[in-house]
């Protein structure tokens, strides 16, 4: 007889496992989940009543009290009411003398389960074994007390026969079935927290501007953010489980030897290194990287985190700044043709090209002039210097398209162009070309071109050429201006030294003579180098004029008059040979 009761309770405990499957598809937070759980527990209670412990005709004992109380505890009022209603209907259907007592047991089990839920078991938290056992004990103490409502038999006989067994088996069954449900709830909570943590981690990784890759102790990748995907060319799905060295191909920038990635060796972070990353598309990217070990709670190294960032822009800006400073310094001591050659050599090196040229455009916008080629181009193709100094644009080739479009032009398959006119004899054969127009005041003033890079020209090459084209124009313009100014100064100096007057210039800001015509030696007897300061001149003004001449000259300078020492003028000075007037 008691074996049937044990089997009944065991079956009901096993049924709680099905609850976990329902929870997976229909969470208890939803109405559908509550309804399905109520139907499951009501059905389980009914199933238990199909093979009960039968004490007397119409008086049965089964596990419905366990199911209903646990349903109320874990799934709330709606599920509990549904399960209690289903179990009550089935008990009424079975009939017998114990119907009223059975329904009262169902109702009391629900009420106690809901009371435990409200007072003792906070939502979404696991319950203790003691709490589960106390629930089972409370439910079944009430159940024993309700046995006095059984009609037709001695209630004392029923209580005396079954009470100890009920209080021995049923609380234990409640504890076992409740533990299964509690573990399911705890597992769900842990999974939810893990998912939440993973989402936060994913959001954090996505917001980081650096590439981040994590690998296990064997160097197999298990995590990769979007920046790392973009830089390496591999998606997270493609890289997952792959060796770190296959996805992150690092080489030394200068030696171009493979750079080893330490896999958490020594348990300490590695200092940041500047390397080249060879992406999946074989593009070379300047990166700065560092690695750090992943250490567990026991202090064991379980993997490696690799963090790297793209410093190509930073490196490019450094190169451009260095090139600019070098060209500006070079321009101080060299002629325009030498400056242009030096700049074109830099353009070749910075873009990886093997030819470079710079052509000026006349003010008519139709004629090219003053061509200049890089040193390497002239060395390999010396006949390029024999090209006409002036020639119309319409006679030039495709490379002048940038003049018409006023934009940078890239031709990575130059021989395939149908509009090309070929190249003159002795000129280099063009395979790839990049040309940049220099625009000032709305007009194209010059064209910079580079060509024959071993691989395709890209956007960074265009930016480099545009920067250098603008720099070359500025330096060339300044060089031309300085040359014109020097020529103008030389003409003025020649004119000043060819007349009989003594031209001079004094700077009040610098407090020195900036120019004294050499005639001062022949006229006054004082060479220019002896004119040390303003007092030198004042001391040699005739005493009769010394009171008014300095102030007169100062006022004249403020008015913009041009002053000179002229022989026979109203200004009198003392010659070095004596005190006479001149």
Q: What is the rounded average pLDDT of the residues 200-208?
A: 78
Task: Give per-residue pLDDT as tens, 185-197.
Answer: 788 778 888 888 8
pLDDT at residue number 229: 93
Task: For strands 249-251 and 221-224, give the pairing.
Answer: unpaired
Structure letter (DSSP) for residue 564:
E
pLDDT at residue number 410: 93
Candidate from 202-206, 248-252, 354-358 with smallest mean pLDDT: 202-206
Rounded to 5 degrees, φ, ψ at 239 are: -85, -20
Whether pLDDT at 201 is above 70: yes
Domains in the chain: ranges and CATH: 2-191 (1.10.1760.20), 209-310 (3.30.450.20), 316-484 (3.30.450.40), 499-565 (3.30.450.20)
pLDDT at residue number 267: 52
Tokens of 8: 């009944």
**447 strand-pairing partners:** 359, 437
pLDDT at residue number 345: 93
Structure letter (DSSP) for residue 127:
P
- For the chain, what percent of residues have pLDDT higher than 70? 85
Task: Give per-residue pLDDT as tens, 423-447.
Answer: 555 567 888 999 999 998 889 999 9
383 in helix, strand or coil? helix
Tokens of 559: 């008015």
- Which carries the bigger pLDDT value, residue 543 or residue 578? 543
Query: Among 485, 488, 473, which residue's Cα sits nearest to residue 331?
Result: 473
Whether pLDDT at 300 is above 80: yes
Put the strands of the sheet holding 211-216 in their side by side order.
Answer: 221-224, 211-216, 301-310, 284-295, 273-278, 249-251
Sign of CA dihedral 121, 124, 129, 132: positive
Mean pLDDT of the chain: 81
Tokens of 346: 């830099």
pLDDT at residue number 578: 42
80 and 188 in contact (C-beta within 8 Å)?
no
Task: Give per-residue pLDDT as tens, 555-577.
Answer: 777 766 555 544 333 344 544 54
Whether pLDDT at 506 is above 70: yes
pLDDT at residue number 4: 54
Q: How far is CA 260 from CA 217, 225, 242, 275, in A?
A: 15, 21, 16, 11
Residue with tokens 């103008």: 488
pLDDT at residue number 553: 80
Whether pLDDT at 143 is above 50: yes
pLDDT at residue number 483: 77
Task: Give per-residue pLDDT as tens, 362-421.
Answer: 887 788 876 788 888 887 765 555 555 667 777 777 888 898 899 999 999 888 887 666
149 and 186 in contact (C-beta within 8 Å)?
no
- Which carries the bigger pLDDT value, residue 266 or residue 215? 215
164 in helix, strand or coil? helix
pLDDT confidence tier of residue 466, bands split at 50, 70 and 90: very high
Whether pLDDT at 550 is above 90: no
- Which carries the bigger pLDDT value, residue 36 or residue 525? 36
Q: Is the pTM of this model over 0.85?
A: no
Report how far residue 42's alpha carbon sits from residue 30's, in angstroms, rounded to the nearest whole number. 18
Candidate from 83-87, 304-308, 427-431 with smallest mean pLDDT: 427-431
Tokens of 285: 């990217």
pLDDT at residue number 565: 47
Structure letter (DSSP) for residue 345:
H
pLDDT confidence tier of residue 20, bands split at 50, 70 and 90: confident
Put the strands of the sheet holding 564-565 in their side by side order.
Answer: 512-516, 502-507, 564-565
Q: What is the rounded average pLDDT of the residues 236-259?
A: 90
pLDDT at residue number 237: 92
pLDDT at residue number 567: 39
450 and 434 in contact (C-beta within 8 Å)?
yes
**Burial environment of residue 405 by CB neighbours within 10 A (0 to 12, 13 to 18, 19 or more):** exposed
- Residues 6 or more apart whose CB falls under 8 angstroms from that of 412 comprise 432, 456, 457
Report how far residue 98's alpha carbon sits from residue 109's, in angstroms, rounded to the nearest whole number. 16
pLDDT at residue number 385: 55
């Amino acid at each position: 007889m008691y074996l049937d009761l044990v089997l009944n309770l065991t079956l009901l405990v096993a049924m709680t496992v099905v609850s976990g499957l329902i929870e997976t598809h229909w969470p208890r937070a939803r109405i559908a989940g509550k309804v399905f759980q109520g139907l499951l527990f009501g059905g389980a209670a009914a199933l238990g009543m199909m093979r009960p412990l039968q004490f007397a005709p119409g008086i049965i004992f089964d596990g419905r009290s366990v199911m209903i109380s646990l349903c109320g505890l874990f799934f709330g009022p709606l599920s509990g009411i549904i399960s209690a209603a289903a179990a009550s209907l089935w008990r009424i259907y079975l009939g017998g003398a114990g119907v009223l007592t059975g329904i009262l047991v169902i109702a009391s089990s629900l009420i106690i389960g809901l009371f435990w839920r409200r007072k003792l078991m906070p939502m979404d938290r696991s319950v203790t074994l003691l709490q589960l056992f106390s629930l089972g004990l409370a439910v079944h103490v009430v159940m024993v007390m309700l046995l006095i409502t059984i009609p037709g038999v001695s209630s004392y006989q029923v209580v005396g026969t079954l009470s100890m067994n009920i209080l021995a088996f049923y609380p234990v069954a409640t504890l076992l079935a409740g533990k299964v449900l509690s573990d399911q709830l705890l597992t769900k909570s842990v999974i939810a927290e893990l998912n939440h943590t993973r989402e936060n981690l994913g959001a954090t990784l996505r917001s980081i501007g650096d590439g981040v890759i994590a690998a296990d102790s064997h160097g197999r990748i298990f995590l990769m953010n979007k920046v790392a995907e973009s830089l390496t060319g591999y998606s997270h799905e493609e890289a997952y489980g792959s060796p770190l060295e296959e996805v992150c191909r690092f080489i030394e920038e200068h030696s171009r030897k493979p750079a080893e990635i330490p896999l958490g060796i020594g348990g300490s972070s590695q200092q940041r290194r500047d390397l080249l990353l060879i992406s999946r598309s074989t593009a070379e990217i300047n990166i700065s990287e560092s690695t750090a070990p992943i250490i567990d709670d026991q202090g064991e190294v379980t993997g490696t985190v690799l963090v790297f960032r793209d410093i190509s822009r930073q490196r490019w800006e450094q190169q451009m700044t260095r090139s600019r400073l070098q060209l500006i310094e070079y321009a101080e001591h060299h002629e325009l043709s030498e400056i242009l050659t030096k700049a074109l050599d830099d353009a070749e090196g910075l873009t990886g090209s093997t030819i470079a040229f710079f052509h000026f455009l006349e003010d008519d916008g139709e004629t090219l002039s003053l061509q200049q080629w890089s040193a390497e181009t002239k060395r390999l193709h010396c006949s390029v210097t024999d090209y006409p100094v002036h020639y119309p644009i319409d006679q030039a080739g495709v490379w002048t398209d940038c003049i018409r479009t006023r934009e940078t032009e890239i031709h990575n398959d130059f021989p395939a162009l149908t509009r090309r006119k070929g190249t003159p004899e002795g000129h280099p054969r063009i395979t790839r070309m990049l040309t940049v127009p220099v625009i000032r005041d709305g007009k194209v003033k010059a064209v910079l071109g580079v060509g024959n890079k071993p691989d395709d020209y890209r956007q960074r090459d265009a930016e480099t050429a545009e920067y250098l084209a603008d720099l070359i124009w500025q330096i060339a313009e300044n060089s031309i201006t300085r040359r014109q100014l020097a020529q103008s100064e030389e003409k003025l100096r020649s004119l000043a030294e060819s007349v009989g007057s003594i031209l001079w210039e004094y700077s009040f800001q610098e407090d020195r003579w900036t120019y004294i015509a050499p005639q001062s030696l022949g006229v006054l007897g004082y060479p220019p180098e002896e004119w040390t300061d303003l007092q030198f001149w004042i001391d040699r003004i005739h005493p009769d004029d010394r009171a008014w001449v300095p102030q007169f000259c100062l006022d004249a300078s403020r008015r913009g008059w041009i002053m000179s020492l002229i022989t026979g003028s109203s200004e009198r000075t003392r010659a070095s040979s004596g005190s006479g007037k001149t």
